[in-house]
Amino acid sequence: MRERKGIIVFVAWRELRFARGRFLLIGAVVALITLLVGFLSGLTGGLAAQNISSVLQLPGDRLVLQQPENSDPSYATSSLDENTVTAWEQADGVESVTPIGIVQSRASASRIDDPTGVALYGLPQHASGTQSNPLFDLAPVHDDEVGVSSGAADDLGVETGDTISITGTDFTVSVVGDDLWYSHTPVIALTPEAWSEASKRVGGTGEATVLAVTANADWEAIGAATGTVAETPLASLTALEAFQSEIGSLGLMIAMLFGISALVVGAFFTVWTMQRAGDMAVLKALGATTGSLVRDSLGQASIVLIAGIGVGLAAVIGLGTVAGQALPFIISPITTLAPAVVMAVLGLAGAAFALRSVTKADPLTALGSNR
Amino acid sequence: MIQLQNVTLTFPDGENRITAVDNASLRGNNGTVTGITGPSGSGKSSILAVAATLLRPDSGGVLIGNGSDMTDAAQLPKHEATQLRREGIGIVFQQSNLLPALTAREQLQVMARLGGGTSRNKRAKIDARVDELLDAVGLTEHAGKRTHQLSGGQRQRIAIARGLVHEPEVLLIDEPTSALDQERGAKIMELISRLTHERDTATLLVTHDLAHRHTLDDLVTVLDGRITTPIAGRALIR
């Protein structure tokens, strides 16, 4: 005789219908929290992309920044002179070094009255040790040309062949590429020479900001010898002050929302299972196993959570699509499914915490009880 | 048949123990309703709890079955005792103790789903008997109603049907008329008697209401945990 396995939710399912007002309420709360978490995640993802999408395209095993004596490394202040670049190029184990300049400035085009804030990248035409990527696809061939990211092209209202002005110098748009950002400004790529001149015109040194290094080397030793620090691309993001503060505060809000959701769902199911304790005692007295009652309770919680999270997720995708036209908002598995899964896991953990009144229900209390 | 043999049950009381059931022996035969009566606190509900495997006695046995196929329920490990309650024992509580979210029909159907891994055949078998039992207790027309839509007597009849739907060897009933008026109480007692005889169940029924004693086949009195007075005498093992 084949045994039927799986969650038995005979009672739980009927309770959901019987007490639909209460379950709709908690389902709505779960949906709203999912909406909040999803929106915050999408916004965080969007803001993060506007901060770092170009940095994540930098080639190499490590990114080398200047190590100031009394502060942390920073993309905004890093400046690496020729001697430093040469020292890295000649260090043992180093295969390739690509000097890259980054500076924020303004650009203007004849079609737009106001100048637009942009991030100027000084990129060699062919970065050694790299394959084609969206950032280096912007690299222009000639000093009087620029590669423009689609965000900058939109802001400036330009397309290939148009002229834009950067720090008083005119450039011809040679290519319009992917949507790449640096510290909330869209990217425009120049040749290293043109970038160096532009950097000097906005008060910079004209020297490279960061080295993209491919190597199997003693990173710390070379860094200490050259007054630099070599970080992985992800670790180097802490040198972007805007990114650090944004992600820190938004991440904290998301974590707190997760905590709140676990508490709310846990508290609801604690009260609910306490109210069910009498029914649990009766079912146990009639011969229900504790395991089947636990599955029943967790099945009930799962149904409420899945329904609530599903509605919340649909709202995130719907509203996020609309919001994405005006806000930096990203809809992706990381900003939707991942928070939903975390919500479900934490909600079930909260519900599981409430199971004590199920496992401890004494069937003896069913005898003589007045229900 | 159910047979309690020299059952003693004690409870802790501070540093001492109090005796709730004192060397009690009792037999409930198939097709008979054996009443257990006595004043409040005499131990009659404790006897029922031991018979239902909800309490394990300090000593003595609780034999359930027939002929050579007898199980000592007092010695069963917890999970087997739970299975015995699910398959071999029917329990009707003092108050009906129905589940408020379920309809009358579902109160009976739930008995097929208590084990979690219930076989499909067993479930179909129990489900098939639900209508028959609802008809037997006269509530076919009320099968779709929930607890709050039923009267006290109707609830108790559903509880009796629930206690019988899985065809248990033994039916244990605790004060079935305590919340009912005389007329409804009489009907319930007659129903219990009829179903016990029709289904050849060994029924133990705790009551302190002797107004319906004519529906009982046997009656014993409990006082201070001891079975003291065999009224009809057949249930007492001397």
Q: Are residues A171 and A252 located together in one domain of the fold?
A: no
Q: How confident is the model at residue A136 (pLDDT cuts 50, 70, 90)?
A: very high
Contacts of B126 in chain A (CB under 8 A): none
Q: Has residue A1 been placed in a domain?
A: no
pLDDT value of position A326: 86
Judge if A207 and A285 occupy the same domain.
no
Q: What is the pLDDT of residue A2?
A: 40
How does pLDDT run across A329-365, given as a tens digit for each residue? 999 998 899 989 988 898 888 888 888 878 888 898 8
Chain A interface includes B218 (CB < 8 A): no
pLDDT of residue B46: 93
A104 shares its domain with A188: yes
Among the partner residues B49, B86, B116, nearest to A8 by beta-carbon distance: B116
Between A15, A18, A369, which is nearest B97 by CB?
Answer: A369
Say whether both A162 and A217 belong to one domain: yes
Overall residue count recorded for chain B in this entry: 238
Enclosing H/E stretch for B12: strand B2-13
Average pLDDT along chain B: 89
Q: What is the pLDDT of residues A45-62, one digit of tens each?
A: 899 888 999 999 999 999
What confidence score (pLDDT) does residue A335 get?
87
Contact B82 A289 (CB under 8 A): yes
Domain coverage including residue A81: 59-232
pLDDT digits 0-9 by tens, B20-39:
999 999 999 999 999 999 99
Contact B4, B62 (CB under 8 A): yes
What's the pLDDT at A292?
A: 87
Tokens of A47: 């803001």
Contact B115 A369 (CB under 8 A): no
Say what the pLDDT of residue A132 is. 72
- Looking at the fold, whether A295 and A194 belong to one and the same domain comes out as no
B58 or B211: which carries more pLDDT confidence? B58
pLDDT of residue B47 exceeding 90, the answer is yes
Chain B contact set for A8 (CB, 8 A): 113, 116, 118
The pair phi, psi for residue A93, each rounded to 5°, is 85, -5
Examine residue A149 and state whether it is found in any structural domain, yes or no: yes
User: Which tens digits make up the pLDDT trace of B75-101?
Assistant: 999 999 999 999 999 999 988 899 999
Average pLDDT, chain A: 89
Predicted local confidence at residue B106, as pLDDT: 94
pLDDT 10s digits, A9-45? 788 899 999 999 999 998 999 999 999 999 999 999 8
Question: Which pLDDT score is estimated for A3?
Answer: 38
Shared domain for A195 and A105, answered yes or no, is yes
At A290, which helix (H) or strand (E)?
A: helix A290-323
pLDDT at A227 over 70: yes
Question: How many independent structural domains does chain A possess?
Answer: 2
| A368 lies within 8 A of chain B by CB | yes
Tell me the sheet residues that pair with B103: B146
Say what the ipTM of the complex is: 0.90
Question: How does DSSP assign A117-170, residue by residue?
Answer: EEEEEE--SS-TT----TTGGG--SSTTEEEEEHHHHHHHT--TT-EEEETTEE
C-alpha span between B159 and B191 (Å, rounded): 12
Residue A368, pLDDT score: 61
B71, burial (CB in 10 Å: exposed 0-12, middle 13-18, buried 19+) = middle
A79 lies in the same domain as A211: yes
Distance CA A277, CA A296 (A): 13
Assess whether A207 and A256 both reside in one domain.
Answer: no
Q: Identify the residue with better confidence: A165 or A277.
A: A165
Please tell me which residue of chain A has the smallest CA distance to B89: A286
Q: Is B93 in Cβ contact with A285 (below 8 Å)?
A: yes
- Same domain, yes or no: A259 and A329: yes
Q: Is residue A129 part of a domain?
A: yes
Q: What is the mean pLDDT of residues B61-80?
A: 91
Whether residue B217 lies within 8 A of chain A, CB to CB, comes out as: no
Is residue A333 domain-resident?
yes
Please, what's the b/e burial string for B180-218 (b: 16 or more CB within 10 A of its CB; e: otherwise)?
beeebbbbbbebbbebbeebebbbbbbbebeebeebbbb
Q: What is the pLDDT of residue B233?
A: 47
Of the candidates B57, B80, B52, the one whose C-alpha atom is nearest the C-alpha of residue B203 is B52
Q: B178-225: per-residue pLDDT in tens?
A: 878 888 889 899 999 999 999 999 999 999 888 888 999 999 999 999
Report if residue A238 sits inside a domain.
no
Q: Strands across the sheet with B170-174, in order?
A: B89-92, B170-174, B202-206, B32-37, B218-223, B226-230
Of A1, A14, A287, the CB nearest to B114: A287
At B230 the pLDDT is: 60
Do A340 and A254 have their domain in common?
A: yes
- Report the residue of chain B nearest A13, measured CA to CA: B101
What would the two tokens of residue B12 be? 């802790």
- Interatomic CA distance for residues A273 and A353, integer angstroms: 10
Q: Is the same domain home to A114 and A141?
A: yes
Instruction: Please say which residue of A209, A232, A255 terminates a domain.
Output: A232
Residue A186 has pLDDT above 70, yes or no: yes
- For residues B133 and B128, give the distance between their C-alpha atoms in angstroms, rounded to a whole number: 10
Cβ B5 vs Cβ B51: under 8 Å:
no
pLDDT for position A127? 59
What pLDDT is stored for residue A371 in this prediction? 39
What's residue A291's pLDDT?
87
Q: Are residues A39 and A65 in the same domain?
A: no
Q: 3-state DSSP helix/strand/coil percent for chain A, to nearest 5?
A: 50, 20, 30
A368 domain-assigned: no
Q: In B, which residues are within 8 Å of A292 by CB distance?
A: 113-117
**CA-CA distance, B18 to A164, in Å (whole number)?**
98
- What was the pLDDT predicted at A130? 56
In a domain, A3, yes or no: no
Q: Which residue has the tokens 């209202």?
A: A157
Tell which of B64, B83, B114, B207 to mutate to test the A interface (max A CBs under 10 Å): B114
Angstrom distance (rounded) from CA A279 to CA A12: 11
**Domain for residue A237, yes or no?**
no
Residue B97 in contact with partner chain A when CB distance is under 8 A: yes
